[in-house]
Amino acid sequence: MSVSILGVRHHGPGSARAVRAELERLRPDVILIEGPPEADALVALAPELEPPVALLAHVPGKASSAAFWPFAGFSPEWQAILYGTAAGIPVRFCDLPASHSLAEPELEPARGRGSEGGPDAASDPGPDPLTGPEPTPGSEPALDDDPEGLRVDPIGALAKAAGYDDPERWWEDVVEHRGDTPFEVIAEAMAAVREGHEPGEREARREAYMRKTLRTAIRQGHDRIAVICGAWHVPALTAPLPPAKADDALLRGLPKVKAQLTWVPWTYGRLASWSGYGAGISSPGWYHHLFTAPDRPVERWLAEAAAVLRDEGLPVSSAHVIESVRLAHSLATLRGRPLAGLGEVTEAARAVLCEGDDLAVELIQRRMVVGDRLGHVSDGTPMVPLQRDLREQQRRLKLKPEALDREFGLDLRKPLDLDRSRLLHRLRLLGVEWGVLGQSRGKGTFRETWTLQWRPEFDLALVEAAALGITVASAAAQRARDLASAESVTLADLTGLVERCLLADLPEALPEVLAALSAKAALDTDVTHLMAALPAMVRAHRYGDVRGTSAEGLAVIVRSMLDRICVGLPVAVTGLDDEAAAALLTGVDAVHTAVALMSEEPTGPPPGEAAGQETPGEATGSPPDQTAGPSPQAAAGSPPDQTAALSPDRPAGSPPAVPEPALGQTVAVVRQASPRSRWLVTLRGVSDRPDLHGLIEGRLTRILLDAGELDDADARMSRAMSRGHAPTRAASWIEGFLGGGGLLLVHDPRLLGLVDTWLTGLDGNQFIDVLPLLRRTFGSFAAPERRAIGERVRSAERSERTGEQDVDERRAEPAARTVLAILGRARIDGRARIDGRDHG
């Protein structure tokens, strides 16, 4: 009987080649590999898989307790599995079972410490919660549970003894760049490093179970046993072994849970050490190249790097490749290395191929050094029904999971693209962010732009969501119901959930979500919550029909929310400081944008009026809600002179045009108007109040001016910037007024003159006080707008000095008359009436 312990680096191409060659020489009759024994039944599926893949262990109903064991094509364990399955040799895993390692979090290995797997693991920056408690086979720290945090980096210790300051470079020189791995020498070196080492509790249990599995194989009569494990464990498995009773005592009484295992796709990005798990490597793409290149790896690597740069439009010739190869070999010779490593080829690529451009070097790093390879598992792999349903839909919709970002433009008028959009939205509800929705480049609501990138942890999310349903649609609908019924859900959350249900086409979940929304909206008295929630509801109502999704009852809720916002806004604008005013202004802007998307059809005549009966104001041609009486603000306590003057043509304080109705009649009249009219009436009533914050008043004035509801904007600006107001309030008013852009000052010389006169009239101290506000306001303008405003101001100053006018009205008269005829506008008393304003 012979037992061969082959100590390896878990993801090392040199170790992988050496293990394959050693197994062919030894011809063992059983192979033991470091990993969870529950996966023995999954070994037979390995030839059908495309690495990188990982073993996923999870506890049913508790997806947070999960672990991954990743394998690449250049992993020694993977090569041993392929050899064993091809030769018909039994392959078993010998590490501590996942049922024990997932049972108690306190028994899990500390993350981010060094491991026996190699120097990459020693430089691991920290934990990755997505990879679970058992990040990789044999990735526990070399000194577990050390109270002082001391740990042994075996590769670092050996590299230092050899005179290397870089453990990675030492490992490549003595192992990866050789044609073989001297397993006896590695075992001797690890024995020297472990001399006097006392393993921690978890490490001791793992090694005890490995020895237990080895003894079982011996008792079963196997004559030639090969054990592939992390090099750190070799001394613990080499004869003479400790008594079996001692190991049984260590393993007795371990906590246990029911664990299930399967294969899932993995990526090279997740193999990189910065992705978090202990035995990660920083250059999986480079190691893949070393393992697969039949000869001249440096020449092939730099030629491929040149192809990557040419694909991005960079001029790289064959002469560049030849010169970079020469430089890489020269650097290796100067440094005494047997073969140019990643450091040398990167420096050669930087100097010759990239000509010192760090961005081009980063491109090579991302595409080649790390790589974007995504593994694949076969249909025979055990999966939860939710995973199988997703895989079938991916085939039907021709959406292949890929590790590299890929952009998809969807036209929702096409059935295939509409189904793709619905699938991606449903997955987002389940926490599977396979697609990230971006800004559509086209116009209209029929287009969506998605960026797709598959990540391994999505399989874990699907396992976690498996209890919600057996299909993606049913699971997403149940998740929507669960979110709607949560106690901590807010009104904004519910409105967003309604929109997500419509986008995902989940009509079975929508009634419950709408019922929860209606109940929450009825109880929420904070108008800011309603303002934050309304935009999502309006989008859902406006674009639901575009996607062919029915949303009955949504219009009633939307209009009800807008009514409550209109009634509550006058109270909400009272007594605001700067921070509160800015927050409320965000809500006002959002509601104003949302109202523009709402249907302009009124809800119908007020109660008690016959259909078709003329309402007050119709005879004069003005909107019904501007002449019929006071706005809903009257119910909120606004002064009579601010609520009676609903017509823009009547100054504040003038008597109403018709007898003021009772409150119930007022609400009924306002509700019959279109949403836009109701909203503008509310803003007009609020804008006349003297106690408004300057930021709010300025923005309301601008909104009403753009809507054609004001013809006295210059008078309002003049009052706001008069000496009766503090300069800081005037600056806030300017900030609110110009928040929509600076083109207004470019095209309206009267307003520009008012701002210029006010600004030049400030003394030094006042100017210093308002400068930050003005800088923030004008800094938000586009550069052409700022330049045009400056030119207007200079032109006005020059005209004042010379006494000349910028425009000769007599010479401009024919051109203005022609333009007005084209636009269909008339002239009134020698002035053009455009957009509700007079222009000379």
Helical H segments across 339-384, by residue range: 342-348, 358-364
pLDDT at residue 515, as a whole number: 84
Q: Which residues contact 200 (CB under 8 A, 6 or more apart)?
A: 141, 143, 144, 145, 146
Asked, for residue 670, whether it belongs to a domain, the answer is: no
Q: Please identify, among 242, 275, 308, the residue that sits at the C-terminal boundary of a domain.
A: 275
The Cα 444–Cα 429 span in angstroms is 24
Measure CA of the first residue to CA of the last residue in the chain; give whole Å: 108
Two structure tokens written together for 722? 């008069």
pLDDT tens-digit series, residues 183-197: 888 888 888 888 888
| Higher-pLDDT residue of 324, 808 | 324
Two structure tokens written together for 496? 């967003």
pLDDT at residue 443, as a whole number: 53
Asked, for residue 667, whether it belongs to a domain, the answer is: no
The Cα 840–Cα 492 span in angstroms is 48
Q: Which residues contact 125 (CB under 8 A, 6 or more apart)?
A: 112, 273, 274, 276
pLDDT average, residue stretch 421-436: 92
Two structure tokens written together for 271? 């193999």
pLDDT at residue 218, as a whole number: 92
**Do residue 43 and residue 143 come from a single domain?**
yes
Two structure tokens written together for 188? 């001797």
pLDDT tens-digit series, residues 616-639: 333 333 333 333 333 333 333 333
Judged against a pLDDT cut of 50, whether residue 608 lies above it is answered with no
Asked, for residue 223, whether it belongs to a domain, the answer is: yes
> Of all helices (H) and strands (E), which one includes residue 292?
helix 284-292
Two structure tokens written together for 397? 């919709």
**Do residue 24 and residue 144 come from a single domain?**
yes
The Cα 370–Cα 568 span in angstroms is 56
pLDDT average, residue stretch 700-718: 80
Asked, for residue 660, whether it belongs to a domain, the answer is: no
Burial of 684 (0-12, 13-18, 19+ CB in 10 A): buried
Which range scores top for mean pLDDT: 348-352, 654-658, 745-749, 830-834?
348-352
How many CA atoms are closer than 13 Å to the CA of 529, on its beta-carbon side? Answer: 14
Judged against a pLDDT cut of 80, whether residue 825 lies above it is answered with no
Which range scores top for mean pLDDT: 140-149, 305-314, 465-474?
305-314
Judged against a pLDDT cut of 60, whether residue 472 lies above it is answered with yes
Judged against a pLDDT cut of 70, whether residue 293 lies above it is answered with yes
Judged against a pLDDT cut of 70, whether residue 275 lies above it is answered with no
Beta bridge partners of 30: 225
% of the chain exceeding 70 in pLDDT: 77
**Do residue 40 and residue 181 come from a single domain?**
yes
Give the 3-state secondary structure of residue 648.
coil
pLDDT average, residue stretch 597-605: 61
**Do residue 332 and residue 462 come from a single domain?**
no
**Do residue 56 and residue 172 come from a single domain?**
yes
| Higher-pLDDT residue of 291, 664 | 291
**Do residue 173 and residue 83 come from a single domain?**
yes
pLDDT average, residue stretch 723-747: 75
Q: How many domains does the chain have?
A: 6
Reported confidence tier of residue 709, pLDDT bands at 50, 70, 90 = confident
State the angle between helix axes of 663-671 and 554-572 in degrees (0 to 180), rounded to the nearest 10: 130
DSSP letter (8 states) at residue 70:
E
DSSP letter (8 states) at residue 106:
G
pLDDT at residue 74, as a whole number: 92
**Do residue 42 and residue 186 come from a single domain?**
yes
- Select from 333, 462, 443, 334 the least CA-distant residue to 386: 462
User: Which is it for strands 447-452 and 406-411: parallel, antiparallel or unpaired?
Assistant: antiparallel
pLDDT at residue 434, as a whole number: 92
Judged against a pLDDT cut of 90, whether residue 326 lies above it is answered with yes
The Cα 566–Cα 635 span in angstroms is 11
| Higher-pLDDT residue of 119, 209 | 209
DSSP letter (8 states) at residue 50:
B
**Do residue 38 and residue 169 come from a single domain?**
yes
| Mean pLDDT, the chain, integer | 77
| Higher-pLDDT residue of 405, 214 | 214
Omega into 659 within 30° of 0, i.e. cis?
Answer: no
Judged against a pLDDT cut of 70, whether residue 764 lies above it is answered with yes
pLDDT tens-digit series, residues 122-148: 223 333 322 233 333 333 333 333 333
pLDDT at residue 357, as a whole number: 92
Asked, for residue 699, whether it belongs to a domain, the answer is: no
Q: Are 471 and 389 in contact (CB under 8 A)?
A: yes
Gyration radius from the chain CA atoms: 37
Q: In what order do the strands lie in the sheet with 30-33?
A: 2-8, 224-230, 30-33, 91-93
% of the chain exceeding 90 in pLDDT: 26
CA distances from 840 to 674, 747, 797, 813 (A): 33, 13, 20, 10
Helical H segments across 674-726, by residue range: 675-687, 694-706, 713-720
- Tell me how long the chain is: 840
Lowest mean pLDDT among 290-294, 565-569, 648-652: 648-652
**Do residue 56 and residue 180 come from a single domain?**
yes
The Cα 671–Cα 669 span in angstroms is 5
pLDDT at residue 277, as a whole number: 41
Q: Please identify, among 528, 555, 586, the residue that sits at the C-terminal boundary of a domain.
A: 586
Q: Are 118 and 10 in contact (CB under 8 A)?
A: yes
**Do residue 789 and residue 801 come from a single domain?**
yes
Asked, for residue 284, whether it belongs to a domain, the answer is: no
The Cα 655–Cα 674 span in angstroms is 25
Q: Are 419 and 411 in contact (CB under 8 A)?
A: no
Reported confidence tier of residue 593, pLDDT bands at 50, 70, 90 = confident
| Higher-pLDDT residue of 685, 639 | 685
pLDDT tens-digit series, residues 475-485: 999 999 999 98
Two structure tokens written together for 569? 């806004």
What's the farthest any 2 CA atoms get from each other in the chain? 114
| Higher-pLDDT residue of 78, 118 | 78
Asked, for residue 282, whether it belongs to a domain, the answer is: no
Residue 833 sits in which domain range?
807-840
**Do residue 22 and residue 123 come from a single domain?**
yes
pLDDT at residue 602, as a whole number: 56
DSSP string, 720-785: HTSTTS-HHHHHHHHHHHTTT-SHHHHH-HHHHHHHHHHHHT--HHHHHHHHHHHHHHHHTS-HHH
**Do residue 122 and residue 236 come from a single domain?**
yes
pLDDT at residue 806, as a whole number: 55
- Give residue for tokens 């293990």: 19
Reported confidence tier of residue 803, pLDDT bands at 50, 70, 90 = low
Omega into 52 within 30° of 0, i.e. cis?
Answer: yes
Reported confidence tier of residue 424, pLDDT bands at 50, 70, 90 = very high
Asked, for residue 360, whether it belongs to a domain, the answer is: yes
How many CA atoms are closer than 13 Å to the CA of 336, on its beta-carbon side? Answer: 4
pLDDT at residue 507, as a whole number: 84
pLDDT average, residue stretch 432-439: 88
Instruction: Specify the amino acid at residue 572.
Output: A
Judged against a pLDDT cut of 50, whether residue 712 lies above it is answered with yes
